[in-house]
Homo-oligomer: A and B are copies of this chain.
Amino acid sequence: MAKKSIEILDTTLRDGAQAASVSFTLRDKVKVALLLDGLGVDYIEGGWPGSNPKDYEFFREIKNYHLKNSKIAAFGSTRRKDVKPDKDSSLSSILEADVEVAVLFGKTWTLHVKEILRTTLEDNLAIIADSIQFLRDHGLEVIFDAEHFYQGFKEDPEYALQVVKVAGDAGARVVTLADTNGGTLPHEILEITKYVHERSKVKLGVHMHNDSGTAVANSLMGVVGGARHVQGTINGIGERTGNADLVQIIPSLALKMGYNVLKESDGLRKLRNVSASVYELSGLHPNPFQPYVGDNAFTHKAGVHADAVMKNTRAYEHIDPSLIGNARKVVISELAGTSNLVNYLERIGLKVEKKEEKLKHALKLIKELESRGYSFDLAPESALLIVLRELGIYEKFIDLKYWKVINENGLALAVVKVNSRVEAAEGSGPVHAVDIALRRCLIKDFPELERVKLTDYRVILPGVIKNTESVVRVTIEFNDGEKNWRTEGVSTSVIEASIMALVDGLDYYLQVNKKLKPLIAND
């Protein structure tokens, strides 16, 4: 018998983007969408074109990519009262987004109909029905989000139920019951969802917020109550305390409740990686205690537990961590560390024995640098350069002998001496000026560097004590039209740290192409 399926709608780019201190650029949004498609979610809610005109850019841009699994949806509200659907700006903004799916939200709570919308209960039903019909007539699939559903239900269950029926009859493929203020508790969600499910024909969804700390549980209880469509965000990012965290919901649905979730067969195994990538793109620190995917989720401190885990993994591990791309950590052994490095090296075609002494020495160096502010997780290619040096398969292509930067109102100049050449350059900022000068020194000997572009640049203060004297960590992402790589620099000077990361980025490219490729080819 085929397993039942649960549809996943991800709203990281819409509801998630409303999180305090989160602000996605267009490029970030595209990256998130591609990650979600790789995971295999059913729907990607890309934005709210009616409220935020910048969201159009995303809907336009994403058309340039072929998505394998996910449909793109635009969010918007039902039409205003006293306005015909074809004259309504909210509905037309959804049409303008030119997507396959509309997520339309409307009122369910009588209090809101009367006080916010200031219309009659009957008129609100008409608004819902003809807004859905209008979008259906224009060929869109419609998911109807019943705003404040659970609050509304508690005050007037009959009306809330009527909203579900009207939306379903008007052609909504899914009616989503939303706990908009996040105040409903899991036993209430179970009871109410079950009640509605038993009295409705349309497919039900749930959309939970985490204000009571139970958004993950509430989503699961919604499913127990009969919902077959779950909305949430990666890492639970969202306004206030956030939305339901799909990273925590999906594995429980798939591994514990026996549902088919995610259209990509190895989607589950990508969860940890997708979670980490979205943390980075949203500028939030990963939560090491996050269930399923956090760094500590399967970490056992020495003692009774660690010992028991060895005897019987089921005792202290609820699932096999590898199923969601995580790993057990008991003690950070040097052996466990070197296997990581061996893995990295394999990816660029080098086979090295895990017990190799030089590798252990490289690991020691890396750990020491990490204690001084580096984080090679974010910049594996800078770590790789250290390993190559230790293994003796490194050639010094770039010898930076001197650099100087002068920056003042409207002027950024750099002078660098690399190998035997001295070059100066002006740039739009000091890092740009250094970048140009560096490349001028190198381009004659290494014309292939023309292909190397910088695609991201981030700076943080990694230390505990933070002031203008602290060390900064600069992370740079590069791309040569085929691959991405990332390098790092750490210094008390943001310019110096940037130069270190820049040089590493160019150096990595040269090591791979001029040193390793011939070496591997000759093997």
Residues of A within 8 A of B (CB): 18-23, 25-27, 51-52, 54, 111-112, 115-116, 148, 151, 180-183, 185-187, 190, 210-214, 216-218, 220-221, 224, 236-237, 239-242, 245, 248-249, 252, 256-257, 283, 285, 287-292, 294-305, 308, 311-312, 314-319, 331, 333-335, 371, 375, 377-378, 402-409, 412, 427-432, 434-436, 453-464, 466-470, 472, 474, 491-496, 498, 502
Q: Which residues of chain B are near A19, meaning CB under 8 Å? A: 289, 296, 301
Inter-subunit contact A430/B409 (CB<8 Å): no
Inter-subunit contact A377/B23 (CB<8 Å): yes
Inter-subunit contact B318/A182 (CB<8 Å): yes
Inter-subunit contact B405/A405 (CB<8 Å): yes
In the bound complex, what is the Cα–Cα distance between A319 and B240 (angstroms)? 13
Inter-subunit contact B300/A428 (CB<8 Å): no
Inter-subunit contact A314/B116 (CB<8 Å): no
Inter-subunit contact A115/B18 (CB<8 Å): no
Inter-subunit contact A494/B430 (CB<8 Å): yes
Q: Which residues of chain B are near A300, meaning CB under 8 Å? A: 239-240
- Option from B20, B312, B378, B474 in Cβ contact (under 8 Å) with A299: B20
Inter-subunit contact A301/B239 (CB<8 Å): yes
In the bound complex, what is the Cα–Cα distance between A328 and B302 (angstroms)? 40
Q: Which residues of chain B are near A333, meaning CB under 8 Å? A: 23
Q: Which residues of chain B are near A185, meaning CB under 8 Å? A: 217, 220, 252, 256-257
Find the B residue at minimum CB distance from A433: B468
Find the B residue at minimum CB distance from A236: B289
Q: What's the least CB distance linking A151 to chain B, in Å?
A: 8
The copy count of this chain in the complex is 2
Inter-subunit contact B407/A404 (CB<8 Å): yes
Q: Which residues of chain B are near A305, meaning CB under 8 Å? A: 18, 239
Q: A213-B245, A429-B496 are in contact. Are A183 and B318 (CB under 8 A)?
A: yes
Inter-subunit contact A116/B299 (CB<8 Å): no
In the bound complex, what is the Cα–Cα distance between A474 and B239 (angstroms)? 23
14 CB < 8 A contacts A-B:
A18-B305, A20-B295, A22-B377, A185-B256, A213-B290, A213-B292, A214-B214, A217-B221, A402-B409, A403-B408, A407-B493, A429-B496, A454-B468, A457-B470
Inter-subunit contact A213/B291 (CB<8 Å): yes
Q: Which residues of chain B are near A116, meaning CB under 8 Å? A: 308, 311-312, 315
In the bound complex, what is the Cα–Cα distance between A468 and B477 (angstroms)? 11
- Option from B218, B241, B371, B435 in Cβ contact (under 8 Å) with A54: B371
In the bound complex, what is the Cα–Cα distance between A112 and B313 (angstroms)? 12
Inter-subunit contact A315/B429 (CB<8 Å): no
Q: Which residues of chain B are near A224, meaning CB under 8 Å? A: 187
Q: What's the least CB distance linking A423 to chain B, in Å?
A: 15
Q: Which residues of chain B are near A314, meaning CB under 8 Å? A: 111, 151, 181
In the bound complex, what is the Cα–Cα distance between A252 and B474 (angstroms)? 39
- Option from B241, B294, B298, B406 in Cβ contact (under 8 Å) with A406: B406
In the bound complex, what is the Cα–Cα distance between A239 and B288 (angstroms)? 11
Q: A23-B378, A408-B402, A498-B494 are in contact. Are A304 and B240 (CB under 8 A)?
A: no
In the bound complex, what is the Cα–Cα distance between A319 and B211 (angstroms)? 9
